[in-house]
Amino acid sequence: MKNLLFPYDEVRKLQKALMLQVDEAIKNKHSLIIHAPTGIGKTAAALSPALSNALEKNLTVFFLTSRHTQHKIAIETLSRIKEKYKTSFVVVDLVGKKWMCNQAGVSQLSSSEFGDYCKDLKKKDLCEFFLNLKSKNKLTVVAQKTLGDLEKKSPLPVEAVSQICFGNKVCCYETSCLLAKKAKVVIVDYNHLLNPSIMENLLKRADKKIDDAILIFDEAHNIADRTRKILSQNISTITLELAAKEAKILGFDEVANILQAVKELILKMVRDKISIEETECLVKKMDFYQPVDELVSYEQLCGDLRFIAEQVVEQKKRSFCSSVANFLESWSGPDEGFARILAKGFTKYSKPFVSLNYKCLDPSLLVKDLVKKSHSSIFMSGTLTPATMYCELFDLDKEKTITVEYDNPFPKQNRLSIIIPETSTKYATRGKEMYQLISEKCSELISNIPGNILMFFPSYTFRDEIYRYLKSSCTKTVFLERSGLSKEEKAELLERFKSYKNAGAVLIGVSAGSFSEGIDLPGDLLNAVIIIGLPLTKPDLETKELISYYDKKFGRGWDYAYLYPAIIKCTQGAGRCIRSETDRGAVILLDERYAWKRYFECFPKDWPFIITKEPIKIIKEFFEQKKD
């Protein structure tokens, strides 16, 4: 495997097959969709042939991931390659521009707010880090030295680059973009290439062309949702109030009055279109655009808000007028592939508000063109199944796209997989009796499984309902995940949970939450994952429109928009249990629907489930074998 720059002395059988398929796809300028469970070694298997081709053909590898841990794994893999083969190449590690900035307080800003703030600082020559980069359009001595040091030490994780740049008082992001001109591998977040404006800016600064790029999408099951979010926008009556206050403070009374009038227009839309019993409804573009345009020229209002936002950013970092302008510009966009939704809601402090939402339904609007322009694109994940679904969702050229699904490489006897079909989390079945039954089943499982256990519920609300009954009978220390944990809080909670590996503890969270993806608990740090209920998306208007849209486009609306995403969330959570060939543990699914044919057939074919209403004897025998 020397010609493919494999970083380790031994290559696994499936890993070798994967490497050869990635190599062939790149050589033929094809796309590759890979379902490859944990343990195959996807990162090394994709990066090695990609880098080999990049060096040979003067291409650039873009490794796209949403997980910070995966940035580190990619850096480690590339470091091993460089050391083993004594070859010279540059790697750049990029995260969101905001997170690479050393200005105080920027972490509190949204991405768009930070963008406005950064532009204003540079425009007014108020950022010393940016000013220290160039003098009379030439790199300063300190900038040249920094780039030289980074090139010699490459590959480095972004934290190390940030420290070096901060020490030299130069902008970390700008310096990294300059270094990217020489880079063979650029590790980035999805947004760097999926967001058209960010991609254009990055490629221009790095002097790269997408035609010469090999794209590797890690954890690619997230791409559809991420892409749809990039193209979606919303505005609320609260934002309009804050924008009006902002305009008034700066003396733009006329614009402030118009914003108040726009707020009243939205409230009138609610009175006219949503009954007291309902919370949301579909609306059309002109339902909002036309009355606003009658108040004031729609385009002029966008321009006025942009002008005010510039004045606001001079005094503080955040501008609500900018948020309103972003929404207005999006709202005038296309109808096909989007849904416009008017909704009533409450803040966490129970303050009522109304929101107007422009929701993207079609991820191919960004992905298709990006893949078509690139030299080759590799999509990979441990839950990218069915692989053909993603080919359709991204509208890829079927003649130039290969789909591959690998079996789990770990010994089957190391994982006990059980479905207990006695309970249900369906809305129609929820109530005191069902909550008590689920609590009893969970308590029994906790008492008979040694060591640490992860439990995932479909929502925080449902989790809390069960915990009311469970907390009095639970025999282990309980840790409760809460919504919106910071990275530091998540890491601290995880370390506390790990420390209970001998006595045993239960970490109770939600599917698709902080702990169902992107964490490793190898060896005896985790003995079981229990998933209660199906983590189905809330059946709101957006979900219904997504189902309808996928039905019209593929004839698979229910599967693609509702069923498969739930099973993928489930398998992601279950995947925390077995992370290496020596790990042993139990995966237990608690809901009768998992045993129904339509749901059961969605799981990977190599997952040997036992369906039983009497799991305890089987569980005890499994863990007795582990002890032996």
| Each residue's pLDDT tens digit, 112-153 | 778 878 888 888 888 999 999 888 889 999 999 999 999 999
Structure tokens belonging to residue 206: 């790095």
Do residues 223 and 237 share a domain? Answer: no
Do residues 295 and 218 share a domain? Answer: no
Question: Do 140 and 174 meet the contact criterion of CB atoms below 8 Å apart?
Answer: no
Q: Please report, to the nearest 10 degrees, the dihedral formed by the alpha carbons of residues 269, 275, 280, 285 taken in order.
A: -30
Do residues 103 and 143 share a domain? Answer: yes
Q: What are phi and psi of 269, to 5 degrees?
A: -60, -40
CA distances from 1 to 47, 89, 468 (A): 13, 19, 56
Residue 151: inside a domain: yes
For helices 158-167 and 172-179, the axis angle rounded to 10 degrees is 110
Residue 93: inside a domain: yes
Do residues 504 and 547 share a domain? Answer: yes
Least confident of 97-106, 148-157, 300-309, 419-428: 97-106
Do residues 288 and 329 share a domain? Answer: yes
| Each residue's pLDDT tens digit, 186-197 | 999 999 999 998
Do residues 356 and 438 share a domain? Answer: no
Do residues 328 and 181 share a domain? Answer: no
Do residues 244 and 279 share a domain? Answer: yes
Do residues 558 and 452 share a domain? Answer: yes
Do residues 254 and 178 share a domain? Answer: no
Question: Do 388 and 405 meet the contact criterion of CB atoms below 8 Å apart?
Answer: no
Owner of token pair 């720059």: 5
Residue 48: inside a domain: yes
Domain that holds residue 324: 233-360
Do residues 379 and 417 share a domain? Answer: no
Q: What's the pLDDT score for residue 1?
A: 55
Residue 561 DSSP one-character state: I
Owner of token pair 């449902």: 462
What CA–CA distance (Å, rounded) separates 573 from 453?
Answer: 12
Residue 155: inside a domain: yes
Residue 366: inside a domain: no
The DSSP H or E segment spanning 31 is strand 31-35
Residue 365: inside a domain: no
What CA–CA distance (Å, rounded) separates 109 from 113?
Answer: 6
Residue 259's domain is classified under what CATH number? Answer: 1.10.275.40
For 146-167, b/e burial (b = at least 16 CB within 10 A) is bbeebeeebbbbbeebbebbee
Q: What are phi and psi of 107, to 5 degrees?
A: -65, -20
Decide: pTM greater than 0.75. Answer: yes
Q: What is the largest CA-CA distance in the chain?
A: 78
- Residue 132 CB neighbours (<10 A): 19
What CA–CA distance (Å, rounded) separates 303 from 282?
Answer: 28
| Beta strands across the sheet bearing 183-188 | 90-93, 183-188, 60-64, 213-217, 376-381, 31-35, 401-405
| Each residue's pLDDT tens digit, 273-282 | 999 889 999 9
Is the pLDDT at 2 greater than 70? The verdict is: no
What CA–CA distance (Å, rounded) separates 597 from 553?
Answer: 25
Do residues 328 and 457 share a domain? Answer: no
Least confident of 110-119, 381-390, 580-589, 606-615: 110-119
Question: Do 180 and 186 meet the contact criterion of CB atoms below 8 Å apart?
Answer: yes
Q: What's the pLDDT score for residue 626?
A: 64
Structure tokens belonging to residue 155: 């590959």
Pairing between β-strand 138-139 and β-strand 134-135 as defined by DSSP bridges: antiparallel
For helices 285-295 and 298-315, the axis angle rounded to 10 degrees is 80
Q: What's the pLDDT score for residue 211?
A: 95
Tell me the helices (H) and strands (E) count for the chain, helix number first.
26, 20
Is the pLDDT at 627 greater than 70? The verdict is: no
Domain count, the chain: 3
Residue 179: inside a domain: yes
Question: Do 92 and 183 meet the contact criterion of CB atoms below 8 Å apart?
Answer: yes
Residue 536's domain is classified under what CATH number? Answer: 3.40.50.300
